[in-house]
């Protein structure tokens, strides 16, 4: 079947799937707009009048609409920054001055009742201006006359055809007509078999599927795409993402960045918010490593801070390592601003903040709760979001976690982890999980779903046994001789044997260290190094990490001397480090 027919057929399918969710279809050529216009002005004007009864009477509605359209069309600071300003306006946070000079925030969209907005889906929407090539968008989803979602469809004739659709949105449409994307919440690319959504301008590796953790993992092909349309293009989802989950940041003084949530982040953040409103005291979020738990904490915190029902809470973003604190703090302050944000430098500063009943966000490590004492703050609207919740969160009352809980006896605790632990010292499920939650887990994003979503890549295990032998009989004879020399009795012999007969004694044998490190260096130089790749070595403990480092450096130094020798052949390149 011809390429154009396939694409048009799929466009029609997406329209059919959208109609039951409250969208009305209007063909692009029949829209009440000029092809030069981004906004359907009549629909926007009607929405402003309808959504602001009793207030709008004091306004020149025509002037308000003109101001909004001018804001939409302004992209001087770059598309991402313009997108942030327009979404700020659409969230109802921009004030307009009435005829008496009084400022009012006006509603542009009804977020509480999504289907009461004017919802239109259109195909073949043309945009053009004099001197530019006209472009035609496959599908546009309009809310109150504003284009919130743009979709590009490709025929599934090539591998990753959806990625070509995403690149066309980024490199052609948004480049040539950036003002059409200033109201954009997200864009969608699909080839009929796969669907991905992302922020306009974001590289394709950041475009994500949108699914549900409650659905069958085996859903694929067109059925998977249909389900994604039902979930992602539901008016409630689009407006929820606009109101609560589209965050903006400036990365290291560089280009502006827009963050959109992955579907498990959105689900989990909502569940944390709901659990707090219901009066629950805890919850365990079990998400596979690399799924974005730091950003999940930021999304959850933003929901809690924005909701007046939480009564101005204190939210503690807790990590066990300083670099994680900096990572979380950077995401939070850049995405949401530094108002009401605190990062205490010492345990004393942390205690002062809590004792003084400070509200907002505190980003800190669990170690700063050492010697915090009991009942430092007895408020119930303190919410602790714990990153890497399987670490430092011991069940023992004398632990740092125990001291933290004693200091905050009525706080609510939510643990985020990819590897929950259950042993004699720690039970992540008991510490954070409600008994009424299935398996004591509030939300689960499994490794299998993560692989299916291509959020993470599979780890391929390639065993490389290193030949190493120890003479057990000779070792035993040496030990017996040592014990005899020091006249050890049987209990002392047994205790000493247990201590030095552990696995660590074998691991720390110098000959074995040399054999293992030689194998690592040979394997690295033969493969990863030649391909310009890096390598990571994991050891049993810190002492072995130091020993391996010294030995690997020694062996690499030998390789460098050989490489620089006139007899070493033609190998070139920088020495590995």
| Sheet with 360-365, side-by-side order of all strands | 341-342, 360-365, 314-319, 382-387, 412-417, 282-287, 443-445
**Mean pLDDT computed over 484-513:** 71
In this prediction, residue 268 has a pLDDT band, given cuts at 50, 70 and 90, of very high
Q: Which tens digits make up the pLDDT trace of 248-267?
A: 876 655 558 899 999 999 99
In this prediction, residue 528 has a pLDDT band, given cuts at 50, 70 and 90, of confident
Question: Which of 404, 407, 364 lies closest to 387, judged by CA?
Answer: 364
Give the Cβ contact number of residue 430 at 10 Å: 13
Start-to-end Cα distance in the chain: 55
Two tokens at 93?
């946070």
Taking each helix axis from N to C end, the angle separating 41-51 and 61-73, rounded to the nearest 10 degrees, works out to 120
Q: Which tens digits make up the pLDDT trace of 149-201?
A: 999 999 887 677 899 999 999 999 999 999 999 999 999 999 999 999 999 99
What pTM was computed for the model? 0.82
Give the Cβ contact number of residue 77 at 10 Å: 11
Question: Which of 310, 247, 307, 319 lies closest to 280, judged by CA?
Answer: 310
Given the structure tokens 């690592």, which residue do they identify? 520
419: three-class secondary structure by DSSP: coil
Strand partners, 325: none
Where is pLDDT greater, at 59 or 137?
137
Given the structure tokens 């950036």, which residue do they identify? 178
* 282 phi and psi angles, rounded to 5 deg: -165, 175
Given the structure tokens 């699909």, which residue do they identify? 190
- Rounded Cα distance between 394 and 423, Å, is 10
- Rounded Cα distance between 52 and 106, Å, is 7
Given the structure tokens 């349309």, which residue do they identify? 229
* 329 phi and psi angles, rounded to 5 deg: -65, -40
In this prediction, residue 211 has a pLDDT band, given cuts at 50, 70 and 90, of very high
CA torsion sign for 195, 201, 205, 211 is negative
Task: Please report the domains of the chain, with CATH numbers, ordered by start residue.
Answer: 3-250 (no CATH), 261-446 (3.40.50.300), 472-564 (no CATH)
Question: Residue 294: in which H helix or E strand, if any?
Answer: helix 293-306
Using the predicted structure, report yes or no on whether residue 567 has a pLDDT greater than 60: no
Strand partners, 208: 197
Are 299 and 270 contacting, i.e. CB atoms less than 8 angstroms apart? no
Using the predicted structure, report yes or no on whether residue 1 has a pLDDT greater than 60: no
Q: Which tens digits make up the pLDDT trace of 113-143?
A: 999 999 999 999 999 998 889 999 999 999 9
CA distances from 82 to 91, 128, 248 (A): 14, 20, 11
Query: Which one of 175-189, 338-352, 552-566 scores highest in mean pLDDT?
Result: 175-189
pLDDT of residue 511: 85
Residues with Cβ < 8 Å from 471, sequence gap 6 or more? none
186: three-class secondary structure by DSSP: strand
Question: Which of 225, 214, 200, 169 lies closest to 86, judged by CA?
Answer: 200
Question: Residue 539: in which H helix or E strand, if any?
Answer: none
Residues with Cβ < 8 Å from 354, sequence gap 6 or more? 314, 362, 376, 377, 382, 407, 408
pLDDT of residue 58: 87
Are 428 and 395 contacting, i.e. CB atoms less than 8 angstroms apart? no
- Rounded Cα distance between 202 and 163, Å, is 12
- Rounded Cα distance between 472 and 477, Å, is 9
- Rounded Cα distance between 476 and 490, Å, is 15
């Amino acid at each position: 079947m011809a390429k154009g027919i396939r694409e048009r057929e799929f466009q029609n399918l997406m329209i059919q799937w959208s109609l039951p969710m409250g969208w009305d279809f209007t063909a692009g050529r029949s829209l009440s707009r000029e092809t030069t216009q981004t906004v359907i002005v009549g629909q926007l004007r009607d929405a402003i009048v309808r959504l602001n009864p009793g207030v709008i009477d004091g306004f020149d509605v025509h002037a308000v609409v003109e101001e909004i359209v001018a804001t939409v069309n302004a992209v001087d600071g770059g598309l991402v920054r313009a997108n942030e300003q327009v979404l700020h306006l659409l969230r109802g946070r921009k004030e307009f001055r009435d005829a008496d000079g009084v400022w009012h925030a006006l509603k542009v969209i009804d977020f509480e009742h999504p289907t009461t907005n004017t919802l239109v889906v259109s195909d073949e929407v043309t945009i053009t201006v004099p001197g530019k090539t006209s472009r035609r968008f496959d599908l546009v989803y309009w809310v109150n006359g504003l284009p919130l979602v743009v979709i590009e469809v490709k025929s599934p004739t090539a591998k990753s055809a959806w990625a070509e659709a995403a690149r066309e949105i980024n490199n052609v449409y948004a480049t040539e007509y950036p003002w059409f994307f200033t109201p954009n919440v997200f864009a969608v690319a699909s080839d009929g078999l796969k669907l991905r959504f992302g922020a306009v301008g974001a590289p394709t590796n950041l475009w994500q599927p949108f699914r549900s953790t409650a659905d069958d993992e085996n859903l694929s092909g067109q059925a998977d795409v249909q389900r994604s349309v039902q979930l992602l293009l539901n008016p409630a989802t689009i407006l929820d993402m606009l109101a609560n989950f589209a965050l903006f940041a400036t990365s290291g003084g560089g280009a502006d960045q827009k963050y959109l949530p992955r579907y498990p982040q959105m689900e989990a953040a909502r569940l944390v918010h709901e659990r707090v409103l219901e009066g629950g005291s805890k919850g365990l979020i079990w998400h596979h490593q690399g799924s974005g738990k730091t950003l999940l904490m930021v999304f959850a915190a933003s929901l809690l801070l924005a909701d007046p029902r939480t009564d101005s809470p204190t939210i503690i973003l807790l990590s066990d390592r300083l670099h994680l604190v900096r990572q979380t703090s950077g995401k939070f302050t850049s995405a949401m601003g530094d108002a009401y944000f605190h990062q205490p430098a010492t345990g004393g500063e942390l205690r002062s903040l809590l004792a003084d009943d400070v509200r907002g966000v505190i980003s800190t490590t669990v170690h700063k709760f050492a010697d915090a004492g009991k009942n430092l703050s007895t408020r119930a609207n303190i919410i602790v979001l714990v990153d890497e919740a399987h670490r430092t969160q011991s069940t023992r009352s004398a632990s740092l976690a125990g001291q933290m809980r004693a200091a905050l006896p009525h706080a609510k605790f939510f643990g985020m982890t990819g590897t929950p632990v259950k042993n004699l010292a720690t039970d992540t499920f008991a510490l954070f999980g409600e008994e009424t939650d299935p398996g004591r887990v509030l939300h689960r994003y499994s490794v299998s779903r993560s692989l299916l979503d291509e959020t993470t890549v599979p780890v391929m295990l390639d065993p490389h046994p290193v030949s190493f032998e120890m003479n057990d009989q000779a070792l035993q004879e040496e030990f017996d001789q040592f014990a005899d020399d020091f006249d050890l009795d049987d209990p002392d012999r047994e205790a000493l044997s247990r201590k030095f007969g552990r696995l660590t004694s074998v691991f720390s044998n110098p000959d074995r260290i040399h054999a293992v490190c030689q194998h690592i260096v040979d394997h690295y130089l033969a493969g990863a190094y030649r391909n310009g790749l890096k390598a990571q070595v994991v050891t049993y403990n810190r002492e072995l990490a130091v020993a391996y480092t010294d030995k690997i450096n020694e062996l690499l130094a030998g390789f460098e001397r050989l490489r620089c020798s006139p007899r070493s052949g033609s190998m070139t390149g920088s020495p590995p480090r």
